[in-house]
Amino acid sequence: MKIICEKCGFTMNLDKSRIPEKGAKGKCPKCRHIFTIKNPGTGVSDNANKSQKTLYWLQGGGCGGDTWAFFNSEPPETSELINDLNIRLLWHPSISNHSIAAQNKLNNDLLSGKQALDILCIEGSIIRGPGGTGMFDTLLGKPKKDIAASLANKASYVLAVGTCASFGGIGADGEIEATGMQFQKWTPGGFMGENFKTKSGLPIINLPGCPCHGGVISGAIAALVSGIPLKLNQYNIPLEWYGTLVHQGCTRNEYHEYRVEEKKIGEKGCLFFYLGCHGPLVYGPCNKMLWNRRSSKTRVGVPCFGCTRPDFPQQYPFFKTRNIEGIPIELPDGVNRAHYLAYKGIAAAAAPERLKKRKTGI
């Protein structure tokens, strides 16, 4: 295990088995400061090391995509995040290997308060159907939604990971009566109610995206563990990752600037006027942090589908821009319609040949 000197921050590795149960005095090899090294303990309900933060990942009505986005993020790679920040992962349904008995004990200890819960990550929507019973999603015959509620009441922080957990996402309009933890699409409330606060005094923090970018998930976890405050907007979304439009940083920005548009898929150009790109309408880090360290949908020619927005998935067709006489109904967030149209007209007239002829190689 890693031992960090409380004075100078020097890190060293020590074999866990060499630390007696009660802990031991140790001297930092760098600054010579003497301090107590605590035994991290072993059992599921052992709370010996108070500085160690615990994390529990619950999956509800979702596809598991946020989990895999998280496992694909790097740096820090998932194991680095967990191990280096000294997080104790109590449970993740895709990697934990507890026995059924150990898992039951853990859940009981969490609910009785014997086991402290610092961060609860919820992935997937809260399924309330049919008729509010939640029986479309059960664990051992009981609705999963009840488990989500009891854990949320115990946790210091709750992260709603992905658009389903944040706003309802897939199924929010349908028979499964899906909702987000504290929002139903644009409306505050959702499953836990508008006034709900976690033990830390914060509301549920929403990390939308379908899936949420893995770097956002690890960044948010790291911030909470390290006590760095996150500034939230009116949808309880941290501005750190959702302060800019998806459009910002797209390699097609120059096409957009001069209104050189892609009318048919694969033509190259900006996807805003015809192919339904939501880049200028929704907030997210896709073109800033990039996906899988490589690219983004809009860079390769897939329109942004607005998957971070509370109304995703939209009720009108994808791959088409809703327009009135060729002008999109929804314009870039915050622009004045008349000014924007005048500017676009002039921009199109000023478009250079190298863009019109797609000579840029993008």
Partner 1 sequence: MSRKYIFPINRVEGDLEIQVELKDGIITEAWSAGTMYRGFENIMKGRSPMDGLVITPRVCGICSTAHLKAAAKALDMAYNIVIPDTAKMIRNITMGVEMLQNDVRQAVLLFMCDFANPYYKDFPLFKEAVSRYEPLKGSSALQTLVESAAIIEITAVIGGQWPHSSFMVPGGVVSSPSINDINQCTYLLNRYRKWYEKQILGCRLERWAEVKNNLDLDKWLEESHLHADSDLGFFIRFSKKAGLDKIGKGHGNFICFGSFDMPENTDIKSLNKGPKYLPAGFSQHTRIQALQEESIFEDSTCSWFKTDDRPLHPFEGLTIPYATGGEGKKYSWAKAPRYQGLPAETGPLAQMIIAENPLFTNLVSSKGPDVFSRELARIVRPAIIIPVLDKWIKEIARNMENFCRTYQEKESGKGFGLIEAPRGALGHWIHFKNEKIENYQIITPSAWNGSPRDLNGVRGPWEQALVGTSIQDTDNPVEAGHIIRSFDPCLVCTVHAI
What does the binding site for ligand SF4 look like in residue numbers (CB under 6 A)?
A: 62-63, 65-66, 123-124, 162-164, 169-170, 210-211, 246-247, 250, 252-253, 256, 270-272, 277, 279-280, 298, 304
In the list partner 1, ligand SF4, none, the entry touching 244 (Cβ below 5 to 8 angstroms by class) is none
> 286 labelled as ligand-binding?
yes
Provide CB contacts within 8 A for 285, sequence distance 6+: 213, 215, 216, 241, 242, 244
Smallest separation (angstroms) from partner 1 to the CB of 4: 18
Smallest separation (angstroms) from partner 1 to the CB of 143: 10
Cα-trace Rg, the chain = 24
In the list partner 1, ligand SF4, none, the entry touching 343 (Cβ below 5 to 8 angstroms by class) is none
Q: For 150, how many CA atoms within 13 A lie in the half-sphere containing its CB? A: 12
26 CB-contact burial (10 Å; exposed 0-12 / middle 13-18 / buried 19+)? middle
Nearest to 242 by CA among 215, 202, 275: 215
State how beta strands 142-143 and 157-161 pair.
Answer: unpaired
49 CB-contact burial (10 Å; exposed 0-12 / middle 13-18 / buried 19+)? middle
The single residue among 68, 108, 327, 333 that binds partner 1, judged by CB under 8 A, is: 68
DSSP string of 9-54? --EEE--GGGS-TT-EEEE-TTT--EEEEPP---STT----TTSEE
Site string for partner 1, 218-257 (x = CB under 8 A): ----------------------------------------
> 213 labelled as ligand-binding?
no
Q: Which is nearer to partner 1, 100 or 329 (CB)?
A: 100
Buried b (16+ CB within 10 A) or exposed e, 192-216: beeebebeeebbbbbbbbbbbbbbb
Subset of 268-287 contacting partner 1 (CB under 8 A): 268, 286
The single residue among 200, 292, 323, 336 that binds partner 1, judged by CB under 8 A, is: 292
Write down how long the chain is: 362
Q: What tokens were used for 277?
A: 């790109």
Smallest separation (angstroms) from ligand SF4 to the CB of 278: 7
Say how many residues touch partner 1, by CB under 8 A.
Answer: 71
> 277 labelled as ligand-binding?
yes
Subset of 124-153 contacting partner 1 (CB under 8 A): 127, 130, 136-140, 144
> 210 labelled as ligand-binding?
yes
Query: Would you count residue 359 as binding partner 1 (CB under 8 A)?
Result: no
Query: Would you count residue 201 as binding partner 1 (CB under 8 A)?
Result: no
DSSP state of 82: H
Q: Which is nearer to partner 1, 73 or 198 (CB)?
A: 73
The single residue among 43, 93, 132, 345 that binds partner 1, judged by CB under 8 A, is: 93
In the list ligand SF4, partner 1, none, the entry touching 49 (Cβ below 5 to 8 angstroms by class) is none
Smallest separation (angstroms) from ligand SF4 to the CB of 19: 40
Distance of CA 63 to the CA centre of its chain: 14
Smallest separation (angstroms) from ligand SF4 to the CB of 60: 8
Contact 306, 281 (CB under 8 A): yes
Other beta carbons within 10 Å of 338: 8
Smallest separation (angstroms) from partner 1 to the CB of 40: 13
Whole-angstrom Cα distance, residue 183 to residue 190? 4
Subset of 334-353 contacting partner 1 (CB under 8 A): none
Query: Would you count residue 355 as binding partner 1 (CB under 8 A)?
Result: no
The single residue among 39, 58, 66, 309 that binds partner 1, judged by CB under 8 A, is: 66
Angle at 96 between CA 44 and CA 38, to 5 degrees: 35
Subset of 8-37 contacting partner 1 (CB under 8 A): none
- The type of residue at 97 is N
Smallest separation (angstroms) from ligand SF4 to the CB of 347: 13
Binding residues for [3Fe-4S] cluster: 286, 304, 307
